[in-house]
């Protein structure tokens, strides 16, 4: 989501300067690549690049082709084979060993559903969306190509004209990113269905100095951050300008929080009773990650007290509690602890273990690349 926000901001600046712009989107990958389908980069006519479609090896050529797209006003599908050691454009021996297809489409301000407008709608609410981008493997200049359909979880639909009717119905059943090929007027056209969940939301209980680096790194990641604390001298917009700040007791704070399946909670108030009150309420909620700062005996004591008070914590509820919080990286300073905590949250939401990659025997990125046949 952070990259999308940056692209939208860059486009708004380009509009103020009355500059043309094009959007480059990775729409399909066969083999390995630095960025997955859905990676985007905005190119403006003065050569400014916002976002990224690779680790830096494709951007220069994409810029050159984007300028051509802006002049012609037509989308272009370009294919990069990073396994080709004879490719003088990309460079020799990059080691990515994949075929990357990038759609470059002009952004037309007069188009009411141009790609930037569709991207803006992905940010309106905390809800999942399906964004559909069409591309042609058989005609790289096909005008059928483009980001042209957005379906929100609440059923709201935005679409360009002449959308393949079957694509709208298929979008309603998408829960993960996939590729489908249709026939439109007898011509094959592929669709990249990109499932975009809302960004990770972190609720941090605590506003001490050790929370500052956690919030700062979370902001760099583009995650939504809410701060909860009972001390207005600590929890305020001067200390945490980019956060939503709630100053209240635990019970009142819980009534103001929005929790969904992309929400993580970190308890680090250094106030035993405050953390305990929040934990008791949160374990009964559908929170996928509850991290608590402090030694293992702190959690053990709370669980004992819960049982004495008549609250039984199930194994399933306990499985969502991470205490001591964070990955084992030898963290000592507040900055290192923040890194360990956020890395653990990322691993949990990605369904990964956080092991050394050199010890990992599977694929680092499990991506569906098969283009399945659809109806049209």
Task: For residue 130, tell me if it sits in a domain.
Answer: yes
Please tell me whether residues 353 and 323 are part of one structural domain: yes
Q: Indicate the number of domains in the chain.
A: 2
Estimate to the nearest angstrom the gap between the alpha carbon of 237 and the chain centroid. 26
Structure confidence at residue 376 (pLDDT) = 61
Please tell me whether residues 148 and 248 are part of one structural domain: no
Task: For residue 161, tell me if it sits in a domain.
Answer: yes
Structure confidence at residue 93 (pLDDT) = 45
- pLDDT, mean over the chain: 91
Structure confidence at residue 365 (pLDDT) = 62
Is residue 255 scored above 80 in pLDDT?
yes
Here the CATH number for the domain that contains residue 282 is 3.40.50.720
Task: For residue 367, tell me if it sits in a domain.
Answer: no
Average pLDDT over residues 286-314: 96
Please tell me whether residues 42 and 27 are part of one structural domain: yes
Q: Read off the pLDDT of residues 11-32 as tens digits, 9 standing for 90 and up.
A: 999 999 999 999 999 999 988 7
Task: For residue 375, tell me if it sits in a domain.
Answer: no
Average pLDDT over residues 32-54: 92
Please tell me whether residues 167 and 246 are part of one structural domain: no
Please tell me whether residues 175 and 266 are part of one structural domain: no
Please tell me whether residues 26 and 166 are part of one structural domain: yes
Please tell me whether residues 267 and 296 are part of one structural domain: yes
Higher pLDDT, residue 351 or 23: 23
Structure confidence at residue 49 (pLDDT) = 96
Please tell me whether residues 146 and 9 are part of one structural domain: yes
Structure confidence at residue 313 (pLDDT) = 95
Residue ending a domain, choose from 196, 231, 260: 196
Please tell me whether residues 112 and 241 are part of one structural domain: no
Residue ending a domain, choose from 141, 173, 196: 196
Task: For residue 230, tell me if it sits in a domain.
Answer: yes
Sign of torsion, CA 251 253 255 258?
Answer: negative
DSSP 357: G
Q: Read off the pLDDT of residues 73-104 as tens digits, 9 standing for 90 and up.
A: 999 999 998 776 555 445 434 556 789 999 99
Please tell me whether residues 10 and 92 are part of one structural domain: yes
Average pLDDT over residues 162-176: 90
Locate 236 and state its tokens. Answer: 């305020």
Torsion angle in degrees (nearest 10) through CA of 25, 30, 36, 38: 30
Is residue 364 scored above 70 in pLDDT?
no
Please tell me whether residues 247 and 172 are part of one structural domain: no
Q: What is the DSSP string of 207-271?
A: -STTHHHHHHHHHHHT-EEEEEES-TTTSSTTT-TTSEEEES-HHHHHHH----TTEEEEE--S-
Question: Residues 6 or more apart from 3 whose CB is under 8 A from it?
Answer: 39, 40, 51, 52, 222
Q: Read off the pLDDT of residues 261-287 as tens digits, 9 standing for 90 and up.
A: 899 999 999 999 999 999 999 999 999
Note down the domain range covering 35: 1-196
Task: For residue 279, tell me if it sits in a domain.
Answer: yes
3-state secondary structure of 344: helix
Task: For residue 185, tell me if it sits in a domain.
Answer: yes
Task: For residue 363, tell me if it sits in a domain.
Answer: no
Rounded Cα gap, residues 143 and 297, in angstroms? 63
Average pLDDT over residues 36-42: 95
Residue ending a domain, choose from 196, 220, 241: 196
DSSP 185: T
Is residue 179 scored above 90 in pLDDT?
yes
Structure confidence at residue 80 (pLDDT) = 92
Please tell me whether residues 89 and 235 are part of one structural domain: no
Question: Residues 6 or more apart from 48 whose CB is under 8 A from it?
Answer: 10, 14, 42
Sign of torsion, CA 303 309 310 311?
Answer: negative
């Amino acid at each position: 989501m952070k990259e999308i926000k940056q692209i939208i901001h860059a486009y708004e600046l380009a509009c103020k300067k009355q500059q043309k712009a094009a959007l480059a989107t990775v729409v399909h990958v066969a083999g390995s690549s630095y960025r997955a389908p859905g990676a985007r980069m905005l190119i403006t006519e003065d050569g400014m690049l916002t976002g990224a479609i690779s680790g830096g090896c494709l951007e220069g050529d994409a810029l050159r082709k984007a300028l051509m797209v802006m002049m012609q006003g037509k989308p272009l599908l370009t294919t990069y084979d990073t396994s080709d050691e004879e490719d003088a454009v990309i460079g020799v021996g990059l080691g990515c060993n994949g075929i990357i297809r990038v759609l470059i489409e002009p952004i037309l301000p007069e188009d009411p559903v141009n790609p930037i407008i569709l991207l803006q709608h992905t940010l309106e609410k905390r809800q999942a969306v399906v964004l559909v981008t069409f591309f042609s493997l058989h005609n790289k200049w096909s005008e059928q190509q483009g980001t042209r359909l957005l379906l929100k979880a609440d059923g709201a639909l935005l679409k360009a004209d002449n959308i393949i009717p079957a694509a709208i119905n298929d979008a309603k059943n998408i829960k993960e990113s996939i590729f489908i090929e249709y026939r439109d007027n007898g011509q094959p056209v592929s669709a990249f269905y990109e499932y975009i969940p809302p960004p990770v939301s972190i609720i941090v209980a605590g506003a001490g100095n050790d929370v500052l680096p956690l919030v700062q790194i979370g902001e760099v990641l583009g995650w939504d951050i809410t701060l909860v604390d009972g001390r207005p001298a600590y929890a305020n917009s001067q200390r945490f300008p980019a956060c939503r700040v709630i100053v209240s007791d635990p019970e009142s704070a819980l009534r103001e929080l929005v929790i969904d399946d992309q929400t993580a909670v970190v308890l680090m108030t250094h106030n035993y009773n405050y953390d305990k009150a929040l934990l008791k309420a949160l374990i009964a909620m559908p929170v996928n990650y509850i991290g608590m700062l402090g030694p293992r005996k702190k959690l053990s004591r709370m669980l004992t007290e819960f049982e004495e008070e008549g609250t039984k914590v199930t194994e399933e509820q306990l499985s969502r509690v991470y205490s001591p919080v964070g990955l084992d990286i030898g963290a000592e300073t507040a900055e290192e602890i923040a890194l360990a905590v956020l890395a653990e949250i990322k691993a949990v939401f990605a369904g990964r273990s956080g092991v050394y990659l050199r010890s990992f025997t599977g694929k680092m990125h499990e991506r569906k690349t098969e283009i399945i046949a659809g109806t049209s």
